[in-house]
Chain A
Amino acid sequence: AQRVTQPEKLLSVFKGAPVELKCNYSYSGSPELFWYVQYSRQRLQLLLRHISRESIKGFTADLNKGETSFHLKKPFAQEEDSAMYYCALSSLTGNQFYFGTGTSLTVIP
């Protein structure tokens, strides 16, 4: 069963425009949700996690348990935001970890 769904493989926005990368999940119990990012020629790295409730590089994500979503948002996209973004889900114990298929974001100058 698909645990994490990212409906958009590719997303292009203009610099300064708002951006939203969608993520929906399916999991019984209380998962922990993450967004990972992979910049060109760099490793996959954590961007943010729902437990921290923090804003990283201007990005925020709110866990909506009713809609089982964890969309990533930024009000004003920058060129350096161009990257591959993966939504991920973990059980609270960390012994189950699922990644989405990723969304490639391109910010057009």
Chain B
Amino acid sequence: EADIYQTPRYLVIGTGKKITLECSQTMGHDKMYWYQQDPGMELHLIHYSYGVNSTEKGDLSSESTVSRIRTEHFPLTLESARPSHTSQYLCASSQTGTSSYNEQFFGPGTRLTVL
């Protein structure tokens, strides 16, 4: 079944640890996105990708990095987690040039807590 998967769903980790948030989609979409959302606040785009080996930073500055080696996979990495990174991270995807042009499909999210 076509879907977007994010793992882990919840992560509690200590300061200074390296973490990778996984996002995979079986939608066959070319574009993928990462958003950060603090409680009661808007979603902020932090990274996006238009295809393999294409990544761009979004509107909100982030210390995280992303990679897009495979179309279906778009992991986000924090080299050294800090309490300020505590947030919910949402992954999304969309397909260029269809009737659903620009519609984004979202994963379930990863709630990260850095102690």
Contact = CB atoms under 8 A, between A and B. Distances in A.
Contacts of B105: 45-46
Nearest to A44: B106
Contact of A97 (B33, B41, B101, B109): B33
Nearest to B90: A44
A94 B101 contact: yes
Nearest to A94: B102
A103 B33 CA distance: 23
Give the interface size bracket for B toward A.
Answer: 20 to 34
A97 B45 contact: yes
Interface in B7-59: 31, 33, 35, 40-45, 48, 50, 56, 59
Contact of A90 (B56, B59, B102): B102
B94 interface: yes
Contacts of B79: none
Nearest to A5: B42
Given A32-B102, A46-B103, A101-B42, A96 B90 contact: no
Contacts of B107: 43
A15 B44 CA distance: 33
Interface in A55-109: 86, 90, 92, 94-102
B22 to A, nearest CB: 16
A9 interface: yes
B106 to A, nearest CB: 4
A4 interface: yes
Interface in B82-109: 90, 94, 96, 101-109
Interface of A: 4, 9, 32, 34, 43-46, 49, 86, 90, 92, 94-102
Given A4-B42, A97-B48, A99-B44, 9 more contacts: A43-B108, A44-B43, A44-B106, A45-B105, A45-B106, A94-B31, A97-B104, A98-B45, A101-B40
